[in-house]
Amino acid sequence: MSKIKMSKFSAVFLALLWSLVFMTGCMLSDWQTIHPPNCAGSFDLPKPVEEPVVSGQKLYISRQGKIEMFVGVYDPVSTGLAPDAPAADQLRKLEEARLGGEQGFVQKLKDQGMNPQLIFEKDLKTDRAIGQQIRIQVGEQFILTQSWVAPDALYFFKIDNGDASNEMVAKVLDSIKP
């Protein structure tokens, strides 16, 4: 009788292992490269990618289990910044608008009775853009953000419950070419 139980256990274990490998493989291999309109930049997100209509930005959303990724792409002129404003000033304004301010993520968390901590992680730079990576920590929960300023667009990446230690998130972060 123990051989029968063992073989049933083995069959169930193998079925679970196969489905885990299959789902992980699908999740890691089914990607969409996004080239926002009127922008030279690009980035990759795991499919499916939603593109809800939002005033003032082009928004892309990908949800994979508990990890949610949001990318907002803004025309620098539509943000109210002077077209000739230095990139560092544009970056500061973008981060203030998305993270701080009355409508920012930090304020929304405070309104829910939470005590979020902003943690600067690193400066980011490519040949045509500058950016910053900031983590918003609330207890064990966190949000990873990247803000980028390029000549033709401002990019704001927000990743809930995932960072570069996750292979999928690392691939998204490595794919960003503003």
For the chain, 178 residues long, give each residue's pLDDT as a single digit of tens. Answer: 445 455 555 554 545 444 444 444 444 569 999 999 999 999 999 999 999 998 888 999 999 999 999 999 988 766 666 667 788 888 887 777 777 765 677 888 888 998 988 899 999 999 999 999 999 999 888 899 999 999 889 999 999 999 999 999 999 999 999 9
Q: How far is CA 18 from CA 5, 13, 57, 64, in A?
A: 20, 9, 41, 19
pTM: 0.76
* CB-CB contact of 142 with 96 (8 Å): no
Name the phi and psi angles at 36, rounded to 5.
-55, 145
So where are the chain's domains?
A: 31-175
Element (H, E) at 55: none
Domain 31-175 has CATH 3.90.550: no
| Residue 90 one-letter amino acid | Q
Q: Which pLDDT does position 100 carry in this prediction?
A: 72
Q: Which pLDDT does position 82 carry in this prediction?
A: 62
Q: 48 preceded by cis ω (within 30°)?
A: yes
